[in-house]
Structure 1
Amino acid sequence: MAPATEPTSQGEAAEGRDPAAAVPREQVLATLDRILGSPSFRHAERSRAFLVYVVTETLAGRASRISERTVGRGALDRGPRFTGGNDASVRVRASRVRRALEEFYTGAGEGESMSITLPSGSYVPTFSWAPESSTPDVARELGLWVEPLAAVGEAAPLLAALATDALVRHLRQWSAVPVEEATGEGPNCSEVVAQPRWHVLSGSVVAYESSLRATVLLGDTGGATHWSRASDLSAGAGGLFEAVEAWSAVTAAAILDHDGALVRSWSQRQESPRDPPLRARVAWFRYLAEPIPERIEAAIADADGALASGEREPRLLSIRAALSTSRVLQRCSDDEVKDLAVAEELAREAIALDAGEAHAHFVLAGVARARGEWPLVLEHARTAAGLSRHSPASQFTAGALVAASGDWSVGVDRMTAVLSEHPHLPSNAHTWLALGHCVLGDYARALGAASVLGDDALPFGPLYRAIALSGLGFVDRAQDEAIRVLELRPEVAADAALNGLVARDVHVAARDLDRLVQLFADVVPPHVLGDH
């Protein structure tokens, strides 16, 4: 019998186009993580390895290299001489992966906006994305004007007034931008807000017998709408008033949280505001979007300038405190003891001014983490999470701190749940997930999370990819990543330095740390190790 023919890389890859070029990388990886954790894939290790391999290779721009031979060698451990032919293992596994993907999208993943498919006759996955109606690319910032929500229905005027008041109150709690409320009969907002950088929040409340629909639109003073959300609220045990209160908190977070519509635009603009407190906030969010030492120092300079102007607002104090902690945790502090003392002092000052300042408690958790005081880390993380339950970024940070304290399973589950619903969180969030999955031994999901990370002075991307690939048995690819780690950080060739990089400022059991270090050491080529 003649050998079966090998499927070719068809579609966009075969025509020279990148099948991943038109989709958000973070969305693909977030969806991949949910697929790997679904019942269809959770216990199918070879199907997980197959899917992770073809997806990450495609995202890396190597779709044209994917074939039966490369999948067998790279994903299914078929050995360096595998060519396919009479061995149908890759084709059989591809069929199983296709069926499992179909099961996922007709079951647990029915509502997914990102679709990952494996076309028949090809091993190159395709990605299609149907984004939600919101548009995060907001081009203007620095102020928010809130118009009274319009009322439709007999009971709507009271509910609309309450919703407007609650929304303004929650927006102001973020302290990230000036929030002004229209009083009703005054001048048009475009006349009041002369600055073209302001945004306008408007909307309506439609009241029914025991429910309502609240709609908000975020636009600019020129009339363009950049983001919108419609929510149906029902009267629960606490009635519609309680439902309106919860809705306003969630809506405020969607606008001003770390991954909110306004915040994403701030980190992308080239110019900075003149007002010192606002300038400090913009610098802080730029650091969150790109957490590198240079961003820390720029943000510290702006925060110090704002504090020198006499501003002692709790959130600003928390931001400056967090930057001192970041200096220590990123190992770019000239005096760690002093920076931690400054962070603790400013955080406690912020809490004294506002006991509900959640960010200050996160700072204190970071200080305790740097000092290895794990019970204090958990205490402050839980307090902060309770004070900011509607903030996705805060809930993710709380999960990361729980993991860092040693409860990796709970922490990873919490982070995964948050990132699944809010994939626009900064990419460094995937650093925590990659480490967490490595510690838990789930190397497929670790590779998926690490694939979104770049190469920088703190080479967590190539480090966690090397460990995950080693754990999956992808030796050649793991060696490439290990070499990259040593190029960035030659001192990692020493076991002590590698231990410090893998488990820096986190609590990892000795046996787990030894396992991760050994996985990395196993794929470092001897000649490269000798060079370092």
Structure 2
Amino acid sequence: MSLPFGQIPELVGCDAEQAGEALQRVLASRSFQAAPKARDFLRYVATETLAGRGQRLKEFTIARSVMDRGTEFASHTDSAVRVQARRVRLLLERYYAEDGADDPIRITIRKGSYVPTFSASTTTPPQDEPATEWTEGPGLIIGRFVDLNSPDGKSAQSIGAAESLAHAFSQFPGLNVYGPISLTADDLGPGKEFPATTLRAQYLLEGSVRVERERLRVTARLIDLETSRLVVATTADRDLEQFSGFQAEGQLASEIAAQLGDYRGDLQRDLARPGRSARLPSTYQAMLLFYDYLDHNTQASAAAAEQALQAALSDEPGNPLLLAMLASAQVAMTETGDAGQAPALLAAVKANAAQALSIRPSGLAYTALSRAALLESDFATCHQEARRAIALEPTNPTVLFLAGYLLAHHGDWTEAINLIDSALRLNPRMPTYCFTLRALGSYLDGRWADALADAADTPEPHPYLGAVVRALALYRLGQHEAAVTNLAAAMAVSPHLEQIVASSDLYPEQVRRALLDGITEAKGVLPLADPPATHT
């Protein structure tokens, strides 16, 4: 029997019976069937709410009722409930964008609350148009993580590790994340229909947790479900003294997810290998061309990605991930292309990024707008959009690097270098230029050995910078012969080196001054040959 309107404040334009039917549709959906912990979480909070007990839902009661936590549960050291709530919100968003696009009742859980609201949908898609289902990249199942210290392999730490990894991977656009599911590679190998085939998943992440010698270690193995091949295994650990409870696991999960799930991570690189990429849908291949542009950062790679993404969007108009990628490729073409085409390209960047953000916000779209503002010398907007990207995806190394690079322009140099350092700690496979900017920061701090370790030759737009930082670090370390070689290399690429540094808008005044003073001092001491004459 349905409850009357008004008795349960979380029912908006529907009754309890209609809300219960909506709940069953969501729980039976593909996404929630593949995420049993999230399904149990939603079932519990929704059932309690429909029973009129929604206001009693607190973190402690959910932890004990759903997360198998005991009376010792402490929310300040155990983030399991908050992690699972974020996961449920993401799955609900995916469900209503795909299978549930035409559901008459929608379930939402606002941030900061665990009480769901059931609302009658105010918009109904035209009946002659199918519900929108966008390609978002490969599918990844978060499988079982075993506690090697536990006789049965199960513990709060192993369960928490899987939950934290599911949340951490879900922060990366371009991945469809399912689980955690208590299964291993043996359950999901070739020929096994569920859930790999049903979910169109290509990869499984399984692994273990162990506490040994006062360190918490999480080991993860990425498995190719098509062949049962081990793609990569990675390990992250921390001293237990530094963390308590699930805070450690959350940080370790972010580190593992960054190494595997980032645009330059092992999963995307494996997907791009020649034998496999040729069998992927055209939309995936357009995404892979975008990842290739991120790796090489050339006009040609940006143009190839832009062309493929335009074609993919003709098949999937409105796909927010493709729109954000397109805006990023177009702004790169603006930076290095024909100045006459810049106004039209910048207009396209802003339109595509704005459309992507209106559908589903992403750090990639915000950084595209930030880069467009930089090209227009609108530094306030540049910094504002970069900070929005950081706030949205604080553990995405590509976003952190781009935001750091953007904030370095007439911004806070220390903040910029700290962001770049965070990106490199999360994923050491960042572009060479990322290391060179960190090397410059180390040089300015007087850490010359660290600067030398990071400095490397860099691609455009600053091909001289790696050689200059290497030369100055070597000079400070007393290795003058090697310093001469590197400074000569920088001057061969950029004969008017001091003039280029002085006019660069990348560096704040104090950074430019330190570089120029170092170059002048080194040139006065080192036996440099005259640079080759240039001819007009």
Match of 2:358 in 1: 352
Of 485, 494, 500, the match for 1:477: 485
Matched position secondary structure for 2:408: helix
Match of 1:294 in 2: 300
Cα distance in 1, alignment partners of residues 391 and 461 from structure 2: 33
Deviation for aligned residue 1:263: 3.0
Match of 2:532 in 1: 528
Where does 1:434-473 land on structure 2 (aligned, <5 Å)?
Answer: 449-450=454-455, 452-453=456-457, 458=460, 460-462=462-464, 464-466=466-468, 469=471, 472=475
Deviation for aligned residue 1:282: 1.0
Cα distance in 1, alignment partners of residues 376 and 507 from structure 2: 10
Query: 1:11-62: CA deviations, max 9, x gaps?
Result: xxxxxxxxxxxxxxxxxxxxxxxxxxxxxxxxxxxxxxxxxxxxxxxxxxxx
Of 172, 175, 180, the match for 1:174: 172
Query: 1:293-349: CA deviations, max 9, x gaps?
Result: 111111111111111112433222211111111112234565111222211222222
Deviation for aligned residue 1:259: 4.0
Where does 1:326-341 land on structure 2 (aligned, <5 Å)?
Answer: 326-331=332-337, 334-341=340-347
Q: CA distance change for structure 1 residues 514 and 162 in 2, over 3 Å: closer, same or farther?
A: closer
Check whether the contact 2:386–2:403 (CA below 8 A) recurs between aligned residues: yes
Check whether the contact 2:209–2:216 (CA below 8 A) recurs between aligned residues: yes
- Structure 2 stretches lacking a partner, 5+ long: 1-136
Deviation for aligned residue 1:405: 2.7
Matched position secondary structure for 2:206: strand
Report whether the alignment pairs 1:307 with 2:313: yes
Query: 1:446-468: CA deviations, max 9, x gaps?
Result: 66544x225x6x37334552576
Q: CA distance change for structure 1 residues 508 and 315 in 2, over 3 Å: closer, same or farther?
A: farther
Query: In structure 1, what residue type is equivalent to 2:462?
Result: F
Check whether the contact 1:344–1:367 (CA below 8 A) recurs between aligned residues: yes
Check whether the contact 1:463–1:485 (CA below 8 A) recurs between aligned residues: no
Cα distance in 1, alignment partners of residues 146 and 348 from structure 2: 47
Match of 1:255 in 2: 260
Report the identity percentage: 19
Query: In structure 2, what residue type is equivalent to 1:189?
Result: L
Check whether the contact 2:166–2:180 (CA below 8 A) recurs between aligned residues: no
Of 372, 396, 408, the match for 1:367: 372
Shifted more, 154-163 versus 425-434: the winner is 154-163
Check whether the contact 1:438–1:464 (CA below 8 A) recurs between aligned residues: no
Deviation for aligned residue 1:188: 3.2
Check whether the contact 1:372–1:505 (CA below 8 A) recurs between aligned residues: no
Query: In structure 2, what residue type is equivalent to 1:198?
Result: Q
Match of 2:513 in 1: 512
Shifted more, 315-324 versus 386-395: the winner is 386-395
Number of positions where the alignment pairs a residue of Structure 1 with one of Structure 2: 379
Cα distance in 1, alignment partners of residues 235 and 414 from structure 2: 33
Q: CA distance change for structure 1 residues 162 and 331 in 2, over 3 Å: closer, same or farther?
A: same
Check whether the contact 2:383–2:411 (CA below 8 A) recurs between aligned residues: no
Query: In structure 2, what residue type is equivalent to 1:201?
Result: L
Query: In structure 2, what residue type is equivalent to 1:461?
Result: P
Report whether the alignment pairs 1:282 with 2:288: yes
Query: 1:495-516: CA deviations, max 9, x gaps?
Result: 97x469x625665569639938
Check whether the contact 2:370–2:383 (CA below 8 A) recurs between aligned residues: yes
Query: 1:361-407: CA deviations, max 9, x gaps?
Result: 21221112111122222222222112222223322333222222343
Check whether the contact 2:467–2:487 (CA below 8 A) recurs between aligned residues: no
TM-score, with length taken from structure 2: 0.57
Cα distance in 1, alignment partners of residues 211 and 530 from structure 2: 71
Cα distance in 1, alignment partners of residues 442 and 236 from structure 2: 35
Cα distance in 1, alignment partners of residues 331 and 205 from structure 2: 35
Match of 1:412 in 2: 417
Q: CA distance change for structure 1 residues 317 and 430 in 2, over 3 Å: closer, same or farther?
A: same
Matched position secondary structure for 1:529: coil
Match of 2:403 in 1: 398
Cα distance in 2, alignment partners of residues 379 and 394 from structure 1: 14
Query: In structure 1, what residue type is equivalent to 2:332?
Result: S
Query: 1:113-152: CA deviations, max 9, x gaps?
Result: xxxxxxxxxxxxxxxxxxxxxxxxxxxx954333244575
Query: In structure 2, what residue type is equivalent to 1:217?
Result: R
Of 201, 204, 208, the match for 1:200: 204
Matched position secondary structure for 1:145: strand
Check whether the contact 1:399–1:411 (CA below 8 A) recurs between aligned residues: yes
Cα distance in 1, alignment partners of residues 333 and 301 from structure 2: 10
Cα distance in 2, alignment partners of residues 443 and 235 from structure 1: 31
TM-score, with length taken from structure 1: 0.57
Of 142, 145, 148, the match for 1:146: 142
Q: CA distance change for structure 1 residues 480 and 348 in 2, over 3 Å: closer, same or farther?
A: same
Check whether the contact 1:369–1:505 (CA below 8 A) recurs between aligned residues: no
Matched position secondary structure for 1:404: coil
Deviation for aligned residue 1:419: 2.8
Q: CA distance change for structure 1 residues 163 and 449 in 2, over 3 Å: closer, same or farther?
A: closer
Match of 1:380 in 2: 385
Deviation for aligned residue 1:413: 4.2
Query: 1:214-249: CA deviations, max 9, x gaps?
Result: 543212234443213365797999x85666555544
Matched position secondary structure for 2:432: coil
Q: CA distance change for structure 1 residues 530 and 276 in 2, over 3 Å: closer, same or farther?
A: closer
Deviation for aligned residue 1:284: 1.4
Root mean square deviation, CA, Å: 4.6
Deviation for aligned residue 1:444: 7.2
Deviation for aligned residue 1:184: 5.7
- Structure 1 stretches lacking a partner, 5+ long: 1-140, 487-491
Cα distance in 1, alignment partners of residues 152 and 366 from structure 2: 44
Matched position secondary structure for 2:325: helix
Matched position secondary structure for 1:258: coil
Q: CA distance change for structure 1 residues 512 and 184 in 2, over 3 Å: closer, same or farther?
A: closer
